[in-house]
Amino acid sequence: MLETILSQKKGAIAGKWLELIADSYPAGVKILADKDKFTNPVGYILSSEIEVLYDEFVHDQIDSERATIALEEIIRSKAVQDRTPGQSVSFVFLLKDVIRAELKSQVKNKEFAAELAKLEERIDNLACQAFNVYTGCRERINQIRTNEIKRDRDNANRLLERFARKYGDQTVEVASGYDRSEVTE
């Protein structure tokens, strides 16, 4: 029963969910103003992937490949922004507010309320999945940064070694770190 209602109200619920997500960005940031893939990649990702995620969620397919890909796209766009983990994952919980507001007249029915409680548990599970995806994205970002630092250090060491070969015993010894003594010419 609830799945049918949520499917019928897909446009309204997904649209309001997307608006709430856009409102969570700082004032002046117009996430939904332009949905072009190149000029506004975040707006494009949100507007295209929220509907996919909503469809999979309504049909209790949050572990499906489509849902995972949609969730990863959304979270990846948030993981590179200057946002806390809570801010990055909070968009999932906004779905509860939208569904409650859209279905407030039916919530009085006890059978319907039980289905809604199960639905909210699925939202919580989706949030846990989103947090796991966020953590994986942040780990990849940190690994990339670590690799860049290592590469920069290795390049600096190679330059120091070349300098040492060129100027011989007038140079500093190059080992695993840097020696702060000065080179005389």
69-73-75 Cα angle (round to 5): 115
Q: Which residue has the higher pLDDT, 169 or 30?
A: 30
Q: Which H or E run contains 31? A: none
Question: What is the number of domains present in the chain?
Answer: 1
Are 79 and 54 within 8 A, CB to CB? Answer: no
Look at residue 171 in the predicted model and tell me its pLDDT: 46
Span between the terminal Cα atoms of the chain, in Å: 85
Span 8-39, pLDDT tens digits? 889 999 999 999 998 888 766 777 777 778 88
Q: How confident is the model at residue 185 (pLDDT cuts 50, 70, 90)?
A: very low
Are 44 and 114 within 8 A, CB to CB? Answer: no
- Answer yes or no: is 112 within a domain: yes
Work out the number of other CB atoms within 10 angstroms of the CB of residue 110: 7
- Answer yes or no: is 73 within a domain: yes
Identity at 25, one-letter amino acid code:
Y
28: left (phi over 0), alpha (psi -120 to 50) or beta: left
Residue range of the domain that includes 57? 2-145
Identity at 158, one-letter amino acid code:
R
How far from 137 is each of 47, 86, 133, CA to CA, in Å? Answer: 21, 14, 6
Span 75-88, pLDDT tens digits? 998 888 878 888 89
- Answer yes or no: is 97 within a domain: yes
User: What b/e string do you get for 6-29 counting C-beta neighbours within 10 Å, with b at 16 or more?
Assistant: beebeeebbbbbbebbbeebeeee
- Answer yes or no: is 42 within a domain: yes
- Answer yes or no: is 185 within a domain: no
- Answer yes or no: is 160 within a domain: no
Look at residue 92 in the predicted model and tell me its pLDDT: 94
CA torsion angle 80 81 82 88 (round to 10)? -100
Span 115-153, pLDDT tens digits? 888 889 999 999 999 999 999 999 999 999 999 999 999
Pick from 95, 87, 85, 94: nearest CA to 133: 85
H-type alpha helices, the chain:
2-8, 10-23, 41-58, 65-79, 85-89, 91-102, 110-167
- Answer yes or no: is 7 within a domain: yes
